Amino acid sequence: GQQLNQSPQSMFIQEGEDVSMNCTSSSIFNTWLWYKQDPGEGPVLLIALYKAGELTSNGRLTAQFGITRKDSFLNISASIPSDVGIYFCAGQGSNFGNEKLTFGTGTRLTIIP
């Protein structure tokens, strides 16, 4: 099945650093979503973006919906230990009722003590 290209694949950072990851697609999506998945659990929604160009924040997280509707980025400021996990972007179809998600390849975030 289709996957979105997400980069970087993994990140090793120190606590307090800022993090940036992005997601690109060859297809247009009407909605972009960012999820975090902890080991052995299902993904949890962090931010949802519904409009091209939209910039949305949720605490230390900021995400933007690209103008072309083919990309999105997620920034995490001042990382803390609980930010460790795998982050997935997801695109949602352009037709009403087509709510299935296409997931990115994931970015694994590790915080170095």
The answer to whether residues 75 and 61 touch, using CB atoms and an 8 Å cutoff, is yes
The answer to whether residues 37 and 43 touch, using CB atoms and an 8 Å cutoff, is yes
Choose between 14 and 97: whose C-beta lies nearer to another protein: 97
Report 39-58 residues binding another protein (CB under 8 A).
Answer: 40-45, 48
Rounded Cα distance between 88 and 90, Å, is 6
What order of strands is seen across the sheet that includes strand 55-58? 5-7, 19-24, 71-76, 61-65, 55-58
The tokens 């940036």 sit on which residue?
Answer: 20
Among 14, 59, 82, 97, contact with another protein (rule: CB under 8 A): 97
Is residue 106 a contact point for another protein (CB under 8 A)?
A: yes
Is residue 99 a contact point for another protein (CB under 8 A)?
A: yes
Question: What does the DSSP 8-state code read for residue 36?
Answer: E
Among 36, 61, 104, 111, contact with another protein (rule: CB under 8 A): 104
- Considering only the stretches 13-21, 36-44, 57-65, 71-79, report the one whose residues sit in contact with another protein under the rule CB under 8 A: 36-44
Interface contacts to another protein, rule CB under 8 A? 1, 3, 35, 40-45, 48, 88, 96-97, 99-106
